[in-house]
Structure 1
Amino acid sequence: MILPKASCDDCSAVTGKTEQTILKQSFGAIRNTLGLPTRNPKARTRELPVVKSYFQPGAAEPHKSTETALPSDQYPLHFIGLLMDQPGMISGHPNWQPLPWEFYSATNIDDFRRVNPDQGVALRIGAVNPYVFAQFLAKIGHSYAVATYGLDAFEPLLLDLIFSKTDGRFRPWIGGEKIVPPQEKDGLHHISASRVARGGSEFLLVKMRFFRLFPSPIYYALAGRLRTSTTR
Structure 2
Amino acid sequence: MKLDEIDLDSYNRIQLPSLGKCIYCYDDENKRTEEHIIPYAIGENTVSILDARCDNCQIIINKYEQGFLSKQIGPFRGAIGAPSRTRKKKKRLQEHHTHMRFTFTEIDWTGKYIRDLGYRLIPFTQAPLVLPLWTSPPPTILGLPVRAGSEMGESWLYQEKDKLAALAKDVGTEKGAFIVKTQTGVVSREHTLRFLAKTAHAWAAAQFGLDAFDPFLTDIVLNKAHDMERYIGNAPPYMYENMPELGKLVEGEGHIFRIVGGRETIGDMSDCLFTLIQLYPMVNSPVHLIVVGKVKPGFDMDARMLERHGVEALA
Q: Residue 50 of structure 2: SS of its match in structure 1?
A: coil
Aligned to 2:126: 74
Q: Kindly indicate whether the alpha-carbon contact (under 8 Å) linking 2:256 and 2:281 is maintained by their aligned counterparts in 1.
A: yes
Q: Does 1:169 align with 2:227?
A: yes
The 1:136/1:220 distance shift into structure 2, 3 A limit, reads: same
Map Cα deviations across residues 17-52 of structure 1 (whole Å, 9 max, x no partner): 211111112210111111112223334622222211
Alignment of 1:1-232 (within 5 A): 1-42=47-88, 43=90, 45-56=97-108, 58-65=109-116, 66-91=118-143, 99-117=151-169, 118=172, 120-166=179-225, 168-177=226-235, 184-185=252-253, 188-197=256-265, 199=268, 201-232=270-301
The runs of 4+ residues in structure 1 deviating greater than 4 Å are none
Q: Matched residues in 1 for 2:128 and 2:71: separation?
A: 15
Letter in 2 for 1:27: I
The 1:229/1:77 distance shift into structure 2, 3 A limit, reads: same
Q: Matched residues in 1 for 2:186 and 2:269: separation?
A: 40
- Normalised by the length of structure 2, the TM-score is 0.66
Map Cα deviations across residues 82-112 of structure 1 (whole Å, 9 max, x no partner): 121211112358xxx9823011111221221
The gaps in structure 1 that reach 5 residues or longer are none
Q: Matched residues in 2 for 1:178 and 1:154: separation?
A: 23
Q: Kindly indicate whether the alpha-carbon contact (under 8 Å) linking 2:138 and 2:144 is maintained by their aligned counterparts in 1.
A: no
Letter in 2 for 1:208: I
Q: Matched residues in 2 for 1:88 and 1:177: separation?
A: 12
Paired residues, what number? 227
Q: Kindly indicate whether the alpha-carbon contact (under 8 Å) linking 1:50 and 1:123 is maintained by their aligned counterparts in 2.
A: yes
Q: Matched residues in 2 for 1:82 and 1:41: separation?
A: 26
Map Cα deviations across residues 99-148 of structure 1 (whole Å, 9 max, x no partner): 23011111221221232224711111211111121101100010011011
Q: Matched residues in 2 for 1:178 and 1:147: separation?
A: 25
The 1:144/1:172 distance shift into structure 2, 3 A limit, reads: same
Q: Residue 213 of structure 1: SS of its match in structure 2?
A: helix
Give identity over the alignment, percent: 22
The 1:150/1:182 distance shift into structure 2, 3 A limit, reads: closer
Map Cα deviations across residues 131-179 of structure 1 (whole Å, 9 max, x no partner): 121101100010011011101111110111112222x321110001376
The 1:177/1:64 distance shift into structure 2, 3 A limit, reads: farther
Q: Residue 113 of structure 2: SS of its match in structure 1?
A: coil
Q: Kindly indicate whether the alpha-carbon contact (under 8 Å) linking 1:182 and 1:214 is maintained by their aligned counterparts in 2.
A: no
Q: Matched residues in 2 for 1:149 and 1:52: separation?
A: 48
**Bigger share in helix:** 2
Q: Kindly indicate whether the alpha-carbon contact (under 8 Å) linking 1:87 and 1:176 is maintained by their aligned counterparts in 2.
A: yes
The 1:178/1:150 distance shift into structure 2, 3 A limit, reads: closer
Query: Which entry has the higher C-alpha Rg, 1 or 2?
Result: 2
RMSD of aligned Cα (Å): 2.4
Q: Kindly indicate whether the alpha-carbon contact (under 8 Å) linking 1:53 and 1:123 is maintained by their aligned counterparts in 2.
A: yes
What displacement does 1:67 show? 3.4
The gaps in structure 2 that reach 5 residues or longer are 1-46, 173-177, 238-248, 302-315
Q: Matched residues in 2 for 1:74 and 1:123: separation?
A: 16
Q: Kindly indicate whether the alpha-carbon contact (under 8 Å) linking 1:183 and 1:216 is maintained by their aligned counterparts in 2.
A: no
Letter in 1 for 2:289: Y
